[in-house]
């Protein structure tokens, strides 16, 4: 049976990306070796990481003076690396979900943290917009897309201080005005690659202003100087990332990806809004994520949630169970998910509703 993969992460990759990776596992760049067994210092792999970094710069129109890094440790490691490298006395954060809260917890190890706004009391069902960023903080940290709660900020805020963003789950879903940011990071397993590699886009000039000693591996300058090759980088995920980035380029870049993502999200949100059985969990339509669509059953149908999961599973729909902290359902519509899969989900919802 054809599967439709709505998993939140690790998540769907384009078929040609998986095919190219599979081919390279057998024979990488005509070396007669598997990409699993080649030196990261071989000229063939150097070409891979160079092209991947270049494509990130081209797709996002990254200005001069920024470096693209490929690191281990996941976005969660960035929660600590960011303050370690940028926090002198005080930083400001927005508390928009579990991942943002984790980032705040780590930052507190390195200095004062001012939480400018939080939607926690509403179980993170909206994105706060009502706050002022003080001019005396070292940086302001945001999570642009809250993967678990399905809220998103689809614009680049103007702030009087350095801006840092966790874009794990909405990178490459819209043009980003990179020059407004000093650092953008994310785990690649949502929209780029399999788990195991983390991307960082950092303004070189933002570094070197803290007094603390930074362990070599946790100092961005180490990885800038060594081109992400200070130690052995995650070779296979970087190879797959390159395949995804080429695929994005060939499709027409982030504008085209955004057009497709908007169409997919509109199809599903419209179906939810029209339904009497399902309802969205995010209150304000402007805050709704186009990547992670969270919805539940209305109170009168609540006890049918488990039945719907079974009904959907029998039709090949994978990964639509909501995160345990939200319940209900979450459909992740990452770039590689075709609109046909969203249509199957919508048809399944309508069929189930009709049955009851
Ligand atoms: C998945 C996710 C993380 C955690 O990423 P890891 O790579 O598992 O550490 C952090 N932030 C956001 C927004 C995420 O979606």
- Ligand 1 atom nearest to 198, measured from its CA: 7
Instruction: Using a cut of 0.95, tell me whether the model's pTM lies above it.
Output: yes
**Could you confirm whether 307 is annotated as catalytic?**
no
Asked if omega into 10 is within 30° of 0 (cis), the reply is: yes
Residues 156-201: pLDDT tens digits? 999 999 999 999 999 999 999 999 999 999 999 999 999 999 999 9
Closest CA to 40 of 302, 193, 230: 230
For ligand 1, atom 7, name the residue with the nearest CA.
74
Q: If you average pLDDT over residues 94-106, what whole number do you get?
A: 98
Instruction: Please determine, for residue 283, whether its predicted confidence score (pLDDT) is greater than 90.
Output: no
Ligand 1 centroid, distance to 308 Cα (angstroms): 27
What residue's CA is closest to ligand 1, atom 13?
Answer: 168
Query: Which residue has a Cα nearest atom 8 of ligand 1?
Result: 74
116 CA to centre of ligand 1 in angstroms:
21
- pLDDT above 70 covers a percentage of the chain that reads 100
How many angstroms separate the alpha carbon of residue 290 from the centre of ligand 1? 17
Best mutation site among 7, 10, 74 for ligand 1, i.e. most ligand atoms within 8 A of its Cβ? Answer: 74
Nearest CA to ligand 1 atom 3: 75
Ligand 1 atom with least separation from CA of 78: 9
Cβ contacts of residue 78 below 8 Å, gap of 6+? Answer: 103, 166, 185, 198, 200
pLDDT at 63 exceeding the cut of 90: yes
pLDDT classification of 348: cutoffs 50, 70, 90: very high
Quick check: 104 and 166 in contact, CB under 8 A? Answer: no
Closest ligand 1 atom to the C-alpha of 74?
A: 7
Is the per-residue pLDDT at 210 higher than 90? yes
Half-sphere exposure of 280 (CA within 13 A, CB side): 24
Residue 47 near residue 198 (C-beta atoms within 8 A): no
pLDDT at 233: 98
Mutate to test the pocket of ligand 1, among 147, 191, 326, 333 (most ligand atoms within 8 A of CB): 147
- Mapping DSSP onto H, E and C, the string for the chain reads CCCEECCCCCCCCCHHHHHHHHHHHHCCCCCCCCCCCCCCCCHHHHHHHHHHHHHHHHHHCCCCCEEEEEECCHHHHHHHHHHHHHCCCEEEEEECCHHHHHHHHHHCCCCEEEEEEECHHHCCCCCCCCCCCCCCCCEEEEECEECCCCEECCCCCCCCCEEEEECCCCCCCCCCCHHHCCEEEEECCCCCCCCCCEEEEEEHHHCCCCCCCCCHHHCHHHHHHCCCCCCCCCHHHHHHHHHHHHHHHHHCHHHHHHHHHHHHHHHHHHHHHHCCCEEECCCCHHHECCCEEEEEECHHHHHHHHHHHHHHHCCCEECCECCCCCCCEEEECCCCCCHHHHHHHHHHHHHHHHHC
Cα(247) to centroid(ligand 1), Å:
23
Identify any residues that bridge with 162 across adjacent strands, giving them in sequence order: 139
Ligand 1 pocket, mutate which of 7, 8, 9, 146 (most atoms under 8 A from CB):
9
Contact between residue 271 and residue 293 where contact means Cβ atoms under 8 Å apart: no
99 tagged catalytic = yes
Ligand 1: residues with CB < 6 A are 9, 74-76, 99, 143, 147, 166, 168-169, 187, 190
Is 166 among the residues known to form the active site?
yes
The number of beta carbons lying within 10 Å of the beta carbon of residue 158 is 9
Q: From the alpha carbon of 169, which atom of ligand 1 is closest? A: 15
Distance 196 CA to ligand 1 centre (A): 12
pLDDT, residue 133, reads 98
Mean pLDDT of 84-91: 98
Catalytic one among 99, 156, 261, 321?
99
- CA distance linking residue 272 with residue 256, whole number of Å: 25
109-135 tens-digit pLDDT: 999 999 999 999 999 999 999 999 999
Q: Which one is catalytic: 166, 170, 182, 219? A: 166
């Amino acid at each position: 049976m054809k599967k439709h993969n709505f998993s939140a992460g690790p998540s769907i990759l384009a078929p040609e990306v998986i095919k190219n990776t599979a081919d390279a596992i057998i024979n990488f760049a005509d070396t007669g070796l598997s990409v699993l067994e080649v030196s990261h210092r071989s000229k063939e792999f150097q070409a891979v990481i160079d092209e991947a970094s270049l494509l990130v710069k081209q797709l996002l129109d990254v200005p001069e003076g920024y470096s693209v890094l490929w690191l281990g440790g996941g976005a969660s490691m960035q929660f600590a690396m960011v303050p370690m490298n940028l926090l002198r006395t005080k930083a400001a954060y927005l508390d928009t979900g579990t991942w943002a809260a984790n980032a705040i917890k780590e930052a507190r190890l390195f200095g004062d943290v001012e939480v400018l706004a939080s939607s926690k009391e509403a179980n993170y069902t909206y994105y706060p917009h009502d706050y002022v960023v003080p001019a005396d903080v070292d940086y302001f940290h945001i999570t642009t897309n809250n993967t678990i709660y399905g809220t998103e900020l689809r614009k680049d805020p103007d702030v009087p201080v350095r801006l840092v963003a966790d874009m794990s789950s909405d990178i490459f879903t819209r043009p980003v005005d990179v020059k407004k940011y000093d650092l953008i990071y994310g785990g690649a397993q949502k929209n780029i690659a399999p788990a195991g590699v983390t991307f960082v886009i950092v303004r070189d000039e933002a570094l070197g202003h803290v007094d603390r000693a930074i362990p070599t591996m946790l100092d961005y300058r180490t990885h800038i100087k060594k081109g992400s090759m200070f130690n052995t980088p995650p070779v296979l995920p970087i190879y797959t990332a390159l395949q995804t980035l080429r695929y994005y380029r060939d499709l027409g870049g982030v504008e085209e990806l955004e057009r497709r993502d908007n169409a997919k999200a509109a199809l599903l949100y419209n179906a939810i809004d029209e339904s009497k059985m399902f309802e969205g969990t995010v209150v304000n339509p402007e805050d709704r994520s186009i990547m992670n669509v969270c919805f539940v059953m209305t109170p009168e149908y609540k006890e049918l949630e488990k039945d719907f999961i079974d009904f959907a599973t029998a039709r090949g729909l994978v990964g639509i169970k909501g995160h345990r902290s939200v319940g209900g359902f979450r459909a992740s519509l990452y770039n590689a998910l075709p609109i046909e899969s969203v249509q199957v989900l919508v048809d399944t919802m309508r069929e189930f509703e009709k049955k009851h």
